[in-house]
Structure 1
């Protein structure tokens, strides 16, 4: 939202040109600040509703684990712990017997002794979704089944789609990408503007930057409430913007291409069996790359018939024992191979800091570990992407992470509310061209920028527009709106005989 003066200032170093006037001797610095002010105003006013939606839906999604327990407690937890767990193969057999319509896709073995084992089945009629069967590991009894999306129960999937697309498909995903694309721009522009203003109020020091001036009145009080909150939230807003964009439609595609160009995608464990392996191996099979890397939504190949499913269930305990022997503790996900020429993959599934995300490939016939891939060996960009996404989802640091996200979401609603309040308080009451809308800051301020700034800034803006396509297109739309409003104001000034922007 706009951080602007409620009264015109006298000309001087860093002074703001009067609305509607061309920047004169204020210099490049004044022109740059005025340009930031105008950008902050327009982007804030037009993008704020989407940011508010993103904050509200994100607030709900952050607490999805607690909501899951409340809604799906019977499926997710056991009634009581009775002795040791039954063999994993028996748990898989129980799930397949209860749901013969599915084929084995993966098995998630929990670390929490009160959690159920999740046997994930592929069912043709469910399309991209799976049917997850929840089995009591102590009795082998099936406690229920849910349609899941990459392991997420229906409620979590619904909240995720609400946050990301408002349940409007690819068209709806534009709203979240638009908000995330402008979020970092608004945060940085507002921060620069507020710190610049604070330099002129040195008597208040850091207190003037970090705390609102509650003794002020009118727009000045609203501005301090808006801007001081923005300072506290700035780092979190930048992190959420960056991590959210990495899996958006268009900017996410650019990020994926960047990872590819630097060979920074997450590597995948090699699962190919030796030419003469144990009971299930056969000759051939390639290098095995891509057959079950950790951190991917690859569900492996599924057994084609009941005999193959029974074989997979019989292999599961041997595979799990091999993975435990290789040091994979905590929750793990076992994925069966697509054919007899490849081994199982076992991936740690602990996304709470300090994360445990190592992966091994295991020969089901011999129990030999074929390959091991440590999360520490992933490229830096891949690690940052994985950790950033988990932090964005509120999973990386547990409850503390969720509370921080909740504070940021509420803070965004605060910023939006006080931003619009400032806009309303600054509305011109006597300018017929803007009867009920706030007057935007001065147009044409870019002309006051120094030539080197323009020579560097224009290519930078073009690159940002390419990297963040939704930002680039919406920026062009803002410029078109600005041109139209400028034309309207000019015509109005000619009719009234007053300079444009004078109220």
Structure 2
């Protein structure tokens, strides 16, 4: 966050705002507006993101009664565990089971309930050794996150305001890469000027400028820290946009047009009377499922190579479809293979292997999981927390710099940088803004607002005589 007015004189070796190129002046102004006005959204997104990354350990402690049991050398069949969950559960439609992935963990039996929100399910936790239900919680999404992380996730995603609230996180993700690239560009320009004057070496690009007075003492830490955080900012901005409302739709359309989508698991059961057999395997249309089918379906999937400890065995979504068994672990190496099993015959009728995903689909999977802090376990969490703390410091330093340079004593800050940049720069900037604004509409709308405000304030500043600086 900077303005293009400096309350103290610069050394002759450093370019002033008035002598800066048109590009530098425009980037400087854009970085200032984005940092000042989008900074609060970024601060909230980063702070809630850090909380989210830390929740797995908090949930293990908070919900230990539901998640952990005494390890048992023998486990009951899934059928017995499912019967216990149905008998002692909250009701609803049985839809899936996640067997205990390791000794000492509980089995999760999942139920749909129309009273719950989108992607929410009742989950009954069952001791696989005794069949005793250990409690029921509402879980969310494919990851099956528990209530604490669900709350923090919704706070991070939409400020607990539902779909309208998602605009805040999309605005933050849309501007994060712009603020990061603009800030680093300004810092590199400053470093090059110091290096040309013999006052900086290569290492000074990534460390604060030393021995400088006043406000410039903050510029160094702000610029150097922003350089360290650049790659993380670009990564989180790109992956964050995949979840957004408007830019996310364009990302999905782009992936579809280039064939970068995840392969679709075929669940149709072929052969004569297939629908009748599938309906019988799912309870004959009565809504009552034979619990023993969970064991046979899982056995068929294991024989077909579904070997990860964390899997979900799901009932058919509709009559005439097969059961599905999907690997749900998200750590490295990634295993998200899935098979479709005809429960009546035990035959595997469809399969999708992560190895067969298109490269871009794999990169998307890895990017999302790394963004959530699960791809590399605690190492991933540690990196994201360090990045988040660094971003919070960066934003606070930016506002401190603005506070020290705010207009005082009747002195206004020069504005209207778009007009002063020159026609070639303006043409290129507008063309780039149109392309990016089409892909990320909230970015385009807010950018137009920034430029309109800058133009109006610039005209007002030119009409009002400015007092001389003291």
Give the TM-score normalised by structure 2: 0.91
Q: CA deviation at 1:459?
A: 2.2
Task: Say if 2:326 is the partner of 1:347.
Answer: yes
Q: CA deviation at 1:72?
A: 0.9
1:390 is paired with a residue whose SS is helix
Q: CA deviation at 1:178?
A: 1.1
Equivalent positions of 1:295-374 (< 5 A) are 308-311=287-290, 313-330=291-308, 331-374=310-353
Equivalent positions of 1:303-452 (< 5 A) are 308-311=287-290, 313-330=291-308, 331-430=310-409, 432=410, 434=412, 439=413, 442-445=415-418, 447-449=420-422, 451=424
Of the three residues 81, 85, 88, the one matched with 1:91 is 81
Match of 1:183 in 2: 176
Greater Cα shift, 364-373 or 469-478: 364-373
For residues 156 and 310 of structure 1, what CA distance do their matches in structure 2 show?
Answer: 31
Task: Say if 2:271 is the partner of 1:275.
Answer: yes
Match of 2:447 in 1: 475
Task: Say if 2:133 is the partner of 1:137.
Answer: no
Relative to structure 1, the CA distance from residue 426 to residue 278 in structure 2 (aligned partners, 3 Å threshold; closer, same or farther) is closer
Relative to structure 1, the CA distance from residue 177 to residue 30 in structure 2 (aligned partners, 3 Å threshold; closer, same or farther) is same
Q: CA deviation at 1:130?
A: 1.3
Relative to structure 1, the CA distance from residue 3 to residue 351 in structure 2 (aligned partners, 3 Å threshold; closer, same or farther) is farther
| Displaced runs of 4 or more, over 6 A | 277-280, 301-305
1:174 is paired with a residue whose SS is helix
Match of 2:216 in 1: 220
Q: CA deviation at 1:380?
A: 2.6
Match of 2:228 in 1: 232
Q: CA deviation at 1:170?
A: 2.2
Greater Cα shift, 243-252 or 373-382: 373-382
Q: CA deviation at 1:173?
A: 1.4
For residues 483 and 89 of structure 1, what CA distance do their matches in structure 2 show?
Answer: 70
Flag structure 2 segments of 5+ consecutive residues without an equivalent.
Answer: none
For residues 317 and 187 of structure 2, what CA distance do their matches in structure 1 show?
Answer: 58
Relative to structure 1, the CA distance from residue 459 to residue 276 in structure 2 (aligned partners, 3 Å threshold; closer, same or farther) is same
Of the three residues 3, 20, 25, the one matched with 1:34 is 25
Match of 2:63 in 1: 72
Task: Say if 2:237 is the partner of 1:241.
Answer: yes
Of the three residues 135, 154, 165, the one matched with 2:147 is 154
Q: Spell out, residue by residue over 1:355-408, the C-alpha distance to the aligned partner (whole angstroms, 9 max, x if none).
A: 111111111122221121111212233222221111111111111111111111
Q: CA deviation at 1:456?
A: 4.3
Residues 41 and 168, structure 2, Cα contact 8 Å, conserved in 1: yes
Residues 3 and 193, structure 1, Cα contact 8 Å, conserved in 2: no
Of the three residues 33, 40, 53, the one matched with 1:62 is 53
Q: Spell out, residue by residue over 1:101-147, the C-alpha distance to the aligned partner (whole angstroms, 9 max, x if none).
A: 22211111242322211111012322432110011111111100012
Q: CA deviation at 1:420?
A: 1.2
Give the TM-score normalised by structure 1: 0.85
For residues 113 and 303 of structure 1, what CA distance do their matches in structure 2 show?
Answer: 31
Task: Say if 2:464 is the partner of 1:485.
Answer: no
What is the number of equivalent residue pairs in this alignment? 461
Equivalent positions of 1:449-464 (< 5 A) are 449=422, 451=424, 454-464=426-436
For residues 303 and 247 of structure 1, what CA distance do their matches in structure 2 show?
Answer: 37
Of the three residues 238, 247, 257, the one matched with 1:251 is 247
Q: CA deviation at 1:412?
A: 1.0
For residues 33 and 257 of structure 1, what CA distance do their matches in structure 2 show?
Answer: 34
- Higher relative contact order (CA closer than 8 Å, sequence separation 6+): 1
Match of 2:2 in 1: 2
For residues 275 and 454 of structure 2, what CA distance do their matches in structure 1 show?
Answer: 72
Residues 465 and 471, structure 1, Cα contact 8 Å, conserved in 2: yes
Relative to structure 1, the CA distance from residue 69 to residue 39 in structure 2 (aligned partners, 3 Å threshold; closer, same or farther) is same
